[in-house]
Amino acid sequence: MPLLWVWALLLFSKVAVGDICASQRYTDAGECCKVCPPGTRVAVECGEDNTQCEPCQQGLTFSSSEDSRQCLTCARCPRGAPLMDACTATRDTVCHCGPTAYLWREGDNVTLALCAGCSKCSLGQGLVQKCSEHGDTVCEECPAGTAFNEETSHGKACTPCTQCKPNEVEIRACEPFADALCMDKQLHINSRPVFSDGTRASSAGTSPQPPQSGDPRLTPHEEERGGSNILVYVSVLAAVVLGLLLYVAYKCWRSCQQKQALGKARAAAELNNAPEGEKLHSDSGVFLDSHSFQDTQPSKGSKRDSKQDSRLYVNLPPHRKEEVERGLGDGSARAGWRELAEALGYEQERADLFGRGEDPVRTLLSDWAQQEGATLGLLCSALVRIERPDVVATLTSPAQGVSVV
């Protein structure tokens, strides 16, 4: 029994000495290892002998924490940052870098000391130590369920979470990034009927109350009006689509008509330019020399009235047609084929179609010659109206005789 008391006393003494030992380390002999204070460094580690400390050089080196293994070299203020406090054995040089910057250095490198911007606490972090000349911003994570911070900031601590009142219910718990969200227990949004006039009954069901904002329900009048609006929109859309289809069909039809007319005009122009000696009447066996096919006997020079000439333009000799075409297409300031087309009754759109070809004058006259009653008299009348007597003279010039083969 006495031996048990001795062991208990020794154990108690060991625990008591361990609680008093700040370094929680002991020498080989069981002595508590000494802690080197700020302003010194550990020269000899604790082991067989106790810890040996060495002081930092005043104004040259410093150590700001306990048990530092080395003394850091004092920093030099960067250019533009005035000196506030000189370096001491326990603190580095203090430089004024401005309200939003601090003196930053990389390890023991004096040349890399510079003014750096203060850091911000992230979402869910609160401020512990504000950025100053003595160091950067120090932040900590907001304790879950007790505080939150929903913005980044240079100097904002974690905010205590909102506590829901007894007449409220918590619909979202407090998080590090957002506060708790509470709602009144007395909200009976889905239990109150809606009257025909749009008012809502109270919870007791006696007096009507105006409808609550945000209620998703609609009155019958609103539902009917919404349905009619949809029908109107659909009808307008269908009318627009139908109009577009009709317009496209019309443009396609007009394009086909123009292509057919241009094809006929070109075919007529090629037919009128056939070689001399062309067979005019295959069933009669009579051939005419195109150069000698001139005005017939009833015409004697210019004495015949050109306006009453009933001869067809299509039967005019090719060389006479070429003279008429050259006269109308000479490019002078006088009236040309466009004015002639208007005088012959062509519309502007049809005349523009002739202008797309290589020889609009020949195309115009060839197309007109295919019409019924396309006589020289009508052509001369149109030429007189556009004041082209020179072309009229070409048409009514004396003939050179007829040669029948």
Concatenating the DSSP letter of every residue in 122-175 gives: -TTEEEEE--BTTB--EEEEPPTTTEE--S-BSS-PPEEPPPPPTTEEEEE--B
Question: Mean pLDDT: which of 99-113, 300-314, 389-403 is highest?
Answer: 99-113
Question: Model confidence at 195, in pLDDT bands (50, 70, 90)?
Answer: low
Question: Model confidence at 403, in pLDDT bands (50, 70, 90)?
Answer: very low
What pLDDT was estimated at residue 250? 92
Q: DSSP class of residue 306?
A: G
Domains of the chain: 22-117 (2.10.50.10), 118-186 (2.10.50.10), 235-277+288-405 (1.10.533.10)
Mean pLDDT on 309-321: 84
Question: Model confidence at 88, in pLDDT bands (50, 70, 90)?
Answer: very high
Residue 343 has pLDDT above 50, yes or no: yes
Token output for 151? 């913005």
Mean confidence (pLDDT) of the chain: 75
Of residues 202 and 354, the one with the higher pLDDT is 354
What pLDDT was estimated at residue 398? 67
What pLDDT was estimated at residue 207? 46
Of residues 193 and 9, the one with the higher pLDDT is 9
